Amino acid sequence: MRDQTIFALSSGAGKAGIAVIRVSGPESLLTLGRLTGLTSPTVRRAHRVKITKPETMEIIDDGLALFFPAPNSFTGEDVVEIHLHGSRAVLKETSSLLIQDPNVRLAEPGEFTRRAFDNGKLDLTAAEGLADLVNAETSAQRRQAQRQFRGELANLYGDWRERLVSAIALFEAEIDFSDEDLPSDLRDQVDKVVEKLEAEISSHLSDSTRGRLVRDGFYIAIVGPPNAGKSSLLNRLAHRDAAIVSEKAGTTRDVIEVHLDLGGYAVILADTAGLRDASGGIEIEGVARSLERANSADLRLAVFDGSKWPELDAATLEVVAGGNTLSLVNKTDLGFDPKKNHKNSTPLLGVSAKTGEGLDELLVKLTNDISERCQLSADPTITKTRYITALKECVASLEQYKSATLAELAAEDLRLAARSIGRITGQVNVEEVLGLIFKDFCIGK
Ligand SMILES: Nc1nc2c(ncn2[C@@H]2O[C@H](COP(=O)(O)OP(=O)(O)O)[C@@H](O)[C@H]2O)c(=O)[nH]1
Ligand SMILES: [Mg+2]
For residue range 299-331, list pLDDT tens digits in order: 999 999 999 988 889 989 998 999 899 999 999
Between 406 and 365, the more confident residue is 365
Between 392 and 288, the more confident residue is 392
> If you measure from the C-alpha of residue 277 to the centroid of ligand 1, how many angstroms do you get, rounded to a whole number?
19
Highest mean pLDDT among 1-5, 183-187, 265-269 belongs to 265-269
> If you measure from the C-alpha of residue 220 to the centroid of ligand 1, how many angstroms do you get, rounded to a whole number?
19
Q: Are residues 235 and 316 in the same domain?
A: yes
Ligand in nearest proximity to the CA of 328: 1
Ligand in nearest proximity to the CA of 350: 1
* 302 contact partners, CB below 8 Å, separation of at least 6: 223, 224, 316, 319, 320, 325, 326, 327, 328
Task: Find out whether 299 and 322 touch, Cβ atoms under 8 Å.
Answer: no
The atom of ligand 1 lying closest to the CA of 235 is 15
pLDDT at residue 435 is higher than 60: no
- Which residue intervals of 75-151 are DSSP H helices? 88-100, 111-118, 124-135, 139-149
**Cβ atoms < 10 Å from Cβ of 40:** 8
Query: Among 111-120, 245-254, 379-388, 394-403, which is the least confidently predicted range?
Result: 245-254
Task: Find out whether 91 and 7 touch, Cβ atoms under 8 Å.
Answer: no
pLDDT at residue 96 is higher than 80: yes
Q: Are residues 246 and 320 in the same domain?
A: yes
Q: Are residues 319 and 222 in the same domain?
A: yes
> Is residue 13 domain-resident?
yes
Ligand in nearest proximity to the CA of 249: 1
Report helix, strand or coil for 122. Answer: coil
> Is residue 281 domain-resident?
yes
End residue of a domain, out of 50, 76, 107? 107
End residue of a domain, out of 374, 398, 427? 374
Q: Are residues 98 and 38 in the same domain?
A: yes
> Looking at residue 139, which CATH number applies to its domain?
1.20.120.430
> If you measure from the C-alpha of residue 290 to the centroid of ligand 1, how many angstroms do you get, rounded to a whole number?
18
The atom of ligand 1 lying closest to the CA of 232 is 15
Phi-psi region of 358 (alpha: psi -120 to 50; beta: other; left: phi over 0): left
- 264 burial via Cβ count (<10 Å: 0-12, 13-18, 19+): middle
Q: Are residues 252 and 278 in the same domain?
A: yes
> Is residue 115 domain-resident?
no
> Is residue 120 domain-resident?
no
> If you measure from the C-alpha of residue 223 to the centroid of ligand 2, how many angstroms do you get, rounded to a whole number?
10
Averaged pLDDT, 32-49: 96
> Looking at residue 345, which CATH number applies to its domain?
3.40.50.300
Report helix, strand or coil for 329. Answer: strand
Q: Nearest residue CA, atom 7 of ligand 1? A: 229
Cα–Cα distance, 343 to 330 (Å, whole number): 17
pLDDT (tens digit, 9 = 90+) per residue, 268-282?
999 888 777 656 666
Domain of residue 98, residue span = 5-107
Q: Nearest residue CA, atom 6 of ligand 1? A: 229
Averaged pLDDT, 54-60: 92
> Is residue 46 domain-resident?
yes
Q: Are residues 133 and 95 in the same domain?
A: no
User: pLDDT band at residue 378, thresholds of 50, 70 and 90?
Assistant: confident
Ligand in nearest proximity to the CA of 308: 1
> Is residue 445 domain-resident?
no
Cα–Cα distance, 133 to 146 (Å, whole number): 6
Q: Are residues 351 and 433 in the same domain?
A: no
Q: In testing the pocket of ligand 1, which one of 245, 248, 252 has its CB within 8 Å of the most ligand atoms?
A: 245
Between 274 and 33, the more confident residue is 33
The atom of ligand 1 lying closest to the CA of 271 is 21
Ligand in nearest proximity to the CA of 354: 1
Q: Are residues 314 and 190 in the same domain?
A: no
> Is residue 213 domain-resident?
no
Q: Nearest residue CA, atom 1 of ligand 1? A: 331
Q: Nearest residue CA, atom 19 of ligand 1? A: 227
The atom of ligand 1 lying closest to the CA of 230 is 20
Cα–Cα distance, 122 to 75 (Å, whole number): 9
User: pLDDT band at residue 342, thresholds of 50, 70 and 90?
Assistant: low
> If you measure from the C-alpha of residue 313 to the centroid of ligand 1, how many angstroms do you get, rounded to a whole number?
15
End residue of a domain, out of 331, 348, 374? 374
Task: Find out whether 272 and 223 touch, Cβ atoms under 8 Å.
Answer: yes
Q: Are residues 157 and 285 in the same domain?
A: no
Q: Are residues 366 and 395 in the same domain?
A: no
> Is residue 265 domain-resident?
yes
Between 80 and 278, the more confident residue is 80
**Cβ atoms < 10 Å from Cβ of 43:** 11
Pocket of ligand 1, beta carbon within 6 A: 224, 226-232, 245-247, 251-252, 274, 330-331, 333-334, 352-354
Q: Are residues 91 and 130 in the same domain?
A: no
> Looking at residue 72, which CATH number applies to its domain?
3.30.1360.120
Number of domains in the chain: 3
Q: Are residues 176 and 236 in the same domain?
A: no
> If you measure from the C-alpha of residue 354 to the centroid of ligand 1, how many angstroms do you get, rounded to a whole number?
8
